[in-house]
Structure 1
Amino acid sequence: MRKKRVLLLSEGFGAGHTQAAKALSVILKQTNGGIQTRVLELGSFLHPTLAPWIFTAFRKTVTSQPKLYGRFYRYKYEKSLNKLTQLALHRIFYAQTAEIINKFKPDIIVCTHPFPNAVISRLKRAGLSIPLCTVITDYDAHGTWISPEVNKYLVSTENVKNKLLGHGIPSHQIEITGIPVHPSFREPQDREAIRQEFNLKPLPTVMVMGGGWGMINSDALYDNMAKWKDSIQFLFCLGSNTKALAKLSGDPRFQHPNIRLIGFTREIGKLMEVSDLLITKPGGMTCSEGLAKSIPMLFYQAIPGQEEENLQYFTASGFGESIESSATFEHWFRRLSESYLDVQQSRAQFSSQYRASHNVDYSSVIMGLLG
């Protein structure tokens, strides 16, 4: 008998949307042997030359003019993508989407970014009968996610559900599932084996993320780190940002055996497992992965818009703190150095509670759309 096919569509505006799609693909195949999945960054797949230019322009806008991005985010907050915008996206960027669907013949389409979501919604208005499931990959519900053609929304929290209800989405079309993360983030792992694999020391460990977009640039963090590097191990994850890697490698403050500068890696889950504190920007996926690993988080430089909403949720829920000053670093570094056992015990307790309360059957939710 033919396996049920799930087509997962994302976009490359930041890694989180595609990470969510890939995580969901793995989860579906692990929990249901009768499912076949395909993950596509739709724009990159259709326009492999043009798409990187667009993503680069977006990244430069976000990093160099965050207030401008924030104003646009708030301006469009209550608004869905209008029909003219959807038509433009379709004609300029996604005209061949129907061909992809005809070729793959999916039984369900899942979107983890608003743009392909809008394109599939437009095709459904034109007669496409395939169920559409939308996974909102932040702790907020921006208007661009919303379309009456969506059959099911998967959302992170009760608050996001309420925002969708405020937009007129019926309650039965919304499931609170959390943001899907790769199953490995939910599984206990052997920390000593991981330390040996990466040649790390059994010390209190701080992981710093955000370098992939060149957004780690805090002298306050660097100076505070320098005070504690003899007793705390620091892991700087810089992604594919080779310029940042070269710059920090030449900084005397980073030339210490307890400081590791790490480029692109697919082993973030393992590195989180052996870390005791995560310093990061409040991106929806990174925060969700940190939550799954039960690691305390410190947040810096939230971009106006969805990151501010993510920050509000995680700090209000007690999962992390906003970095207000160097005193925040001082408090946590001292706590790791002087009360390490207490930090470990608190994390272990929270981890068991998290695993017990976050056991979502994504397969049943999504395949339930087939009736």
Structure 2
Amino acid sequence: MNILILTASTGGGHNRAADALRTYVEKNQPDTNVAIIDAIEECSPALNFTVVKGYKALVTLTPALFGAMYKSSDKKSPLSDTVNIIYQQCSKRLQSKIEELNPDAIISCHPFAGAIVGYMNQEGSIHIPLISIVTDFLPHRTYISDGITAYITASSQAKDILADEYGIERDTIFDYGHPVFEQFYEGNGKSREEVLEELGFDKDKLTVLIMAGSFGVTDILEIYENLQKIDVDYQIIVITGRNQKLYDAFQMLLNDEKEFVTEEEPELLRRFPDDNVLRYMYYQTESVVEQLNRTFRRTIEDHKPTKLFFFINNVDDYMHASDLIVTKPGGLTTSESIACALPMVVFKAYPGQEEQNAALLVENNIGVILEESSKAAETVGSLLKDRAKLESMRESCRSYVRKNSCQNIIELAKRLAEENDKT
């Protein structure tokens, strides 16, 4: 059997979901061939450049505008005819690739990709079962197309919304959860004790994980210093991702530097690391650099035991070892944290999907919102001092998570392919 997985690079969660599905198939079903393609890139590299960079710029520079666009695009509008023209043009370019790969089923991890193939099914150029994974925690109209065979949601709550508010046939919606690498599920990876021992940490102390790559340097340093005020004996793991400026600043802080300059390279440059023109213009504008670079003055004498990491491939190990995570409420980190039964403190949610994610976490007793960095000690401290609350949040994660998501999605794809062969 051949399965084609479609994704796009507007955020890492779509690609991560696609990789999780492929990894599951390659490990567990050697008789199945799986291929992943970036649907927007395949349709048009120029369109991909515009969509991906446009998305990142909107989210970074004008989050309020992005939030407004996200809400407005969730309603039917006269723009739908224009959108269909785009789908028509893209489908012509994508169809040859689909015919070349000859899939028995297609799984979409991105709404735009699903809409293009849905259009192709609808107008009859192909007849291939199409599964659309709603990679956000709540549905959005962009995921919906008449040519989609089945939908995957993160929860029964999202399934009900798709059926009741968007009119999707309930028997075509499956609340299998987001595709997550198997090692993230609680009990599937290294034990807490193993990881803490490798770090030289105390196995009897609470551990807080900070995943901070998307935060500004000063923001996260202030959160970290604020966390030192909590009168609980605990330890901290910090993962900065590929944010080199933040990693360097943390090293200075942990090396007891009393005062140092934080290079506040804007989020825009971190999101467009290969845009040399933008980078050149930024660094030629000395007044801007001087405004962004700030002198950070250390306000703490001692800090909790801390381990600092740059980009790593074993995030699951540190999630399994932790009792609480402080991070942004992006779909990828949120899904993996829930799979690990790891309660969340979320910070700086962008309007749109992230705000919805944050609200959903609170509603389901999975996370709390950190309104501002100065309240970190109050928000995190209240949880660390309340073991019963932490455990109830872990139980909420366990109730919410859908284990075996990849397996169930692939089995559904096979079942739909077999039914399609009979028609």
Q: TM-score, normalised by structure 2?
A: 0.75
Structure 1 pair 6–209 and aligned structure 2 pair: CA distance change class (3 A): same
- What is the match of residue 279 of structure 1? 326
Out of 361, 367, 370, the residue aligned to residue 314 of structure 1 is: 361
Question: Is the counterpart of residue 241 in structure 1 residue 243 in structure 2?
Answer: yes
CA distance in 2, matches of 1:163, 1:347: 24
Deviation at 1:77, TM superposition (A): 1.0
Question: Is the counterpart of residue 227 in structure 1 residue 229 in structure 2?
Answer: yes
Identical aligned residues as a percent: 27
- What is the match of residue 106 of structure 1? 103
Deviations 1:334-361 (CA, angstroms, capped at 9, x unpaired) = 653x566x67866776677667x64553
Equivalences for 1:262-341 in 2 at 5 Å? 262-324=309-371, 326-327=374-375, 329-333=377-381, 335-336=383-384
Q: Tell which deviates more after alignment, 21-30 or 127-136.
A: 21-30
Q: Tell which deviates more after alignment, 273-282 or 212-221.
A: 212-221
Q: Highest CA radius of gyration, 1 or 2?
A: 2
CA distance in 2, matches of 1:339, 1:309: 26
> In the alignment, is the contact (CA less than 8 A) between 2:108 and 2:132 conserved in 1?
yes
CA distance in 2, matches of 1:198, 1:57: 40
- What is the match of residue 142 of structure 1? 140
- What is the match of residue 208 of structure 1? 210
- Structure 2 letter corresponding to 1:267: N
- Structure 1 letter corresponding to 2:226: N
- What is the match of residue 181 of structure 1? 180
SS in 1 for 2:229: helix
Deviation at 1:329, TM superposition (A): 3.4
Structure 1 pair 201–96 and aligned structure 2 pair: CA distance change class (3 A): farther
CA distance in 2, matches of 1:352, 1:71: 33
- What is the match of residue 190 of structure 1? 191
CA distance in 1, matches of 2:247, 2:346: 21
CA RMSD between the two structures: 3.2
> In the alignment, is the contact (CA less than 8 A) between 1:109 and 1:130 conserved in 2?
yes
- Structure 2 letter corresponding to 1:134: S
CA distance in 2, matches of 1:126, 1:37: 24
Structure 1: 5+ residue stretches without partners: none
> In the alignment, is the contact (CA less than 8 A) between 1:32 and 1:363 conserved in 2?
no
Equivalences for 1:7-22 in 2 at 5 Å? 7-22=4-19
> In the alignment, is the contact (CA less than 8 A) between 1:210 and 1:216 conserved in 2?
no
Question: Is the counterpart of residue 121 in structure 1 residue 118 in structure 2?
Answer: yes
Deviations 1:113-156 (CA, angstroms, capped at 9, x unpaired) = 11111221222224211111000011211111110000000011
Q: Tell which deviates more after alignment, 237-246 or 306-315.
A: 237-246
- What is the match of residue 156 of structure 1? 154
Structure 2: 5+ residue stretches without partners: 258-297
Q: TM-score, normalised by structure 1?
A: 0.85
Deviation at 1:232, TM superposition (A): 2.8
Deviation at 1:196, TM superposition (A): 4.5
Structure 1 pair 52–193 and aligned structure 2 pair: CA distance change class (3 A): farther
SS in 2 for 1:211: coil
